[in-house]
Amino acid sequence: MTCRICENKVGHSFKEEPFFPPGGYKFKQNNTYECHQCGQKWYCYNDHFCLWGKVEDDLTWKFLINNIDVLMAIGDICAVVPGYEEHAIDPVHEVCSRKVSHPEISLGDEKTAFLQWTGEYGRGRMNIFCHQFKFPIMSLEERFMEKIDTFRVPFVGQIRDWPDEGQRQGMIETFGDEEKSVVYLMSAEFTHDYGDDVGPVSFISEVVLLGDPNVGLIRPGYFFDSFVVEMVNGEFKGRK
Ligand SMILES: [Zn+2]
């Protein structure tokens, strides 16, 4: 049961007499509130007029607190429209609690390098919560492991999505087929002799996909940012 305090304060909130959630209204994020007295969950469906509705189901609440854009019916009770349930299944694989805005490389136990990035699910399922995972990276030289945090990632994806079409055939010959997921790594900490010039070390490694009983095969989503290449090159030149 909703207690009288939040029923009056939150439920009857409007522009002239607004309810302010702890920390105030957040910009471009969902404003939610959970009453400490009665546990009632609330969602501000109109932050201009400070209108709040109750949230009665866990799935809607999960979408709201994760700031996921979904279609909702709003009013006294706010609820996600039917059809999202099948995409709300959580993977068995561990999900990264901290999300990154660019793909990141780190070293795990047993000297395995990992790529953290947003996953794409198999079986036509959507990763609606944009969960990120740690994917093992194959065949990384030991000397790179020592300064693994200096590596930047300009590209993650399948070979068929590699930006330079002319290089795809060679990559297919190296890695097997165009479906393979790879990561392009660069570090200004290591020098490589390219014959006519020296530059930051860079190479392409295969990414190990995660087989998941709930969501199928998880592969890292596509990412490409040519600015990362420029940034590492600039960093390298600054070091010389
Ligand atoms: Zn309450």
Hey, what are 65's tokens? Answer: 């607190």
**Lookup result for tokens 């740690």:** 134
Q: If you measure from the C-alpha of residue 93 to the centroid of ligand 1, how many angstroms do you get, rounded to a whole number?
A: 36
**The predicted structure's pLDDT at residue 234:** 94
Residues of the chain with pLDDT under 50: none
**The predicted structure's pLDDT at residue 27:** 87
Q: If you measure from the C-alpha of residue 77 to the centroid of ligand 1, how many angstroms do you get, rounded to a whole number?
A: 15
Question: What are the phi and psi torsion angles at 63 (to 5°)?
Answer: -65, -45
Q: If you measure from the C-alpha of residue 58 to the centroid of ligand 1, how many angstroms do you get, rounded to a whole number?
A: 17
Taking the whole predicted model, whether its pTM rises above 0.75 is answered as yes
Q: If you measure from the C-alpha of residue 41 to the centroid of ligand 1, how many angstroms do you get, rounded to a whole number?
A: 8
For 15-38, the pLDDT digits (tens) are: 999 999 999 999 888 999 999 999
**The predicted structure's pLDDT at residue 87:** 78
Q: If you measure from the C-alpha of residue 10 to the centroid of ligand 1, how many angstroms do you get, rounded to a whole number?
A: 9
Q: If you measure from the C-alpha of residue 191 to the centroid of ligand 1, how many angstroms do you get, rounded to a whole number?
A: 61
**The predicted structure's pLDDT at residue 196:** 86
**The predicted structure's pLDDT at residue 53:** 97
Q: If you measure from the C-alpha of residue 40 to the centroid of ligand 1, how many angstroms do you get, rounded to a whole number?
A: 6
**The predicted structure's pLDDT at residue 159:** 97
Q: If you measure from the C-alpha of residue 70 to the centroid of ligand 1, how many angstroms do you get, rounded to a whole number?
A: 26
Q: Which amino acid is located at 180 in the chain?
A: K
**What is the C-alpha separation between 118 and 99, in angstroms, rounded?**
8
Q: If you measure from the C-alpha of residue 88 to the centroid of ligand 1, how many angstroms do you get, rounded to a whole number?
A: 27
DSSP per-residue letters across 21-68: -TT-PPTTS--EEE-TTT--EEEEEETTTTEEEEE-SHHHHHHHHTT-
> How many helical (H) and strand (E) elements, i.e. helices and strands, does the chain have?
5, 14
b/e per residue 165-187 (b: at least 16 CB within 10 A): eeeeeebbeebeeeebbbbbbbb
Q: If you measure from the C-alpha of residue 71 to the centroid of ligand 1, how many angstroms do you get, rounded to a whole number?
A: 26
Q: If you measure from the C-alpha of residue 6 to the centroid of ligand 1, how many angstroms do you get, rounded to a whole number?
A: 4
- Secondary structure of residue 135 in the 3-state scheme: strand
